[in-house]
């Protein structure tokens, strides 16, 4: 089938939505389907055969461009690349354009609910100053115009149902390429930063933004250092809070034990997972948290704040622990694992096993099944009308 993906967020921007689109696109193509991406343009990008770029303008969020929902080339492109189904990844700008095109072409439209938009109104293009309540109404209304709404975790499925979404909802996580984690260089991380091979390393991966709640991790780590003087915290990612976080670390006199890597290449990121001892996560606004699945695939037990999608990503007491939004409880749980090598190893083995349920191939096959069900339903309705 021929799939059109409309998104407000795409490469070279780095983020969870972009990663999800990349993973599913690669798998769908390997399964024999055609995928065309409709996304904002960025300065200096080369042309890509399967990517249609809209004119764009820089947003107030550093490094993020807003696609303008019009182009003189769009109709010609759609005529030469006829679509069977449209999958949108935003309820705004280009997502809404995709939904309008689907209606015009009389083809199904699918929406993946990646983000708790009412928790991110400071980032959402054009409506950042509006209320959370209004944002909920906008997103619920958009969901109810779609043939299928996909959520990355079951708990978010229930959440949007409670918000008032009446459309068909299925939950399907973004998968991970398990082969990436089959030959890890577990020495890379400690060699990179000159760390003692025998001392523990905690790892956080995520955008350096307020909603990721990274100061919570830093505060918890400060308590851990009281007992583990040579422990280290590695923070992977870049974002608007990077400078503030570095300043905060300096104020706490932790600069020699907390390391900021910025964005890493895919190979280096995978090896960073492999070289850590524990994965720590503090965001309370995730719909999934794909980095948790990646950490588990690398054999890292997880200690995370128990909130929204993260609660579906960690099997509490089996491959990690979910804790309340309490710094003391967070640091104590981490220290319990650092003290008990046998327990940590047991959780690590289970983490690898549990990560298999997030196989990108299996997730893509399930998505194709959902697409086909929509197409079959549309065909049945068309046939009934013709009679």
* pLDDT-derived band at 55, boundaries 50, 70, 90: very high
pLDDT average, residue stretch 181-186: 94
Domains 2-175+360-386 and 178-357 agree in fold: yes
User: Is the pLDDT confidence value at 232 over 50?
Assistant: yes
The predicted structure's pLDDT at residue 128: 53
pTM, full prediction = 0.86
Model pLDDT for residues 194-220, shown as the tens digit of each residue: 999 889 999 999 989 898 999 999 999
**pLDDT tens sequence across 287-309:** 788 999 999 999 999 999 998 88
Condensed to tens digits (0 to 9), the pLDDT of residues 67-124 reads 999 999 999 999 999 999 999 999 999 999 999 999 999 999 999 999 876 655 554 4
Domain 178-357 has CATH 3.30.750.80: no
- Provide CB contacts within 8 A for 249, sequence distance 6+: 218, 255, 258
Percent of the chain with pLDDT over 70: 95
State the pLDDT at residue 28: 98
Q: What is the 3-state secondary structure (H, E, C) of the chain?
A: CEEEEECCCCCCCCCHHHHHHHHHHHHHHHCCCEEEEEEECCCCCCCCCCEEEECEEECCCCCCEEECCCCCCHHHHHHHCCCCEEEECCCCHHHHHHHHHHHHHCCCEEEECCCCHHHCCCCCCCCCCCCHHHHHHHHHHHHCCCCEEEECCHHHHHHHHHHCCCCCEEECCCCECHHHHCCCCCCHHHHHCCCCCCCCEEEEECCCCHHHCHHHHHHHHHHHCCCCCCCEEEEEECCCCHHHHHHHHHHCCCCCCEEEEECCCHHHHHHHHHHCCEEEECCCCCCCCHHHHHHHHCCCCEEEECCHHHHHCCCECCCEEEECCCHHHHHHHHHHHHHCHHHHHHHHHHHHHHHHHHEHHHHHHHHHHHHHHHHHHHHHHHHHHHC
Protein fold of 2-175+360-386:
Rossmann fold (3.40.50)
Residue 125 is predicted with a pLDDT of 47
Domain parsing of the chain, residue ranges: 2-175+360-386, 178-357
pLDDT of residue 383: 62
Mean pLDDT score of the chain: 92
Averaged over 139-155, what is the pLDDT?
Answer: 95
Give me the pLDDT at residue 285, please.
Answer: 82
């Amino acid at each position: 089938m021929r799939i059109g993906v409309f998104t407000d967020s795409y490469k070279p921007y780095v983020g969870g939505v972009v990663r999800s689109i990349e993973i599913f696109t690669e798998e769908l193509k390997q399964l024999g389907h055609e995928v065309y991406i409709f996304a904002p343009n960025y300065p200096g990008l080369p042309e890509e055969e399967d990517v249609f770029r809209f004119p764009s303008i820089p947003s107030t969020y550093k490094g993020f461009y807003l696609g303008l929902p019009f182009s003189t080339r769009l109709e010609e492109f759609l005529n030469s690349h006829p679509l069977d189904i449209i999958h949108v990844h935003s309820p705004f700008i280009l997502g809404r354009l995709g939904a309008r095109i689907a209606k015009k072409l009389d083809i199904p439209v699918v929406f993946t609910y990646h983000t708790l938009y009412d928790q991110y109104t400071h980032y959402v293009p054009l409506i950042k100053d509006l209320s959370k309540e209004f944002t909920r109404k906008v997103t619920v209304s958009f969901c109810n115009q779609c043939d299928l709404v996909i959520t990355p975790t079951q708990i978010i499925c229930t959440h949007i149902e409670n918000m008032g979404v009446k459309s068909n909802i299925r939950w399907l996580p973004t998968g991970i390429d398990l082969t990436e984690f089959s030959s890890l260089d577990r020495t890379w991380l400690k060699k990179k930063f000159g760390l003692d091979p025998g001392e523990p390393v905690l790892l956080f991966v995520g955008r350096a933004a307020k909603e990721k709640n990274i100061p919570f991790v830093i505060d918890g780590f400060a308590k851990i250092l009281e007992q583990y003087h040579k422990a280290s915290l590695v923070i992977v990612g870049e974002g608007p809070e990077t400078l503030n976080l570095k300043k905060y670390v300096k104020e706490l006199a932790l600069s020699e034990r907390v390391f900021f890597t910025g964005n890493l290449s895919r190979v280096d990121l995978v090896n960073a997972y492999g070289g850590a001892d524990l994965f720590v996560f503090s965001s309370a606004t995730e719909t999934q948290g794909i980095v948790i699945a990646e950490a588990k695939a690398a054999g890292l037990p997880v200690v995370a704040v128990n909130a929204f999608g993260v609660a579906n990503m960690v099997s509490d007491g089996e491959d990690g622990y979910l804790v309340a939004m309490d710094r003391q409880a967070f640091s104590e749980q981490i220290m319990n694992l650092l003290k008990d090598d046998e327990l940590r190893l047991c959780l690590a083995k289970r983490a690898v096993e549990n990560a298999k349920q997030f196989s990108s191939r299996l997730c893509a096959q399930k998505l194709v099944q959902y697409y086909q069900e929509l197409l079959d339903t549309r065909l049945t309705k068309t046939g009934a009308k013709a009679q």
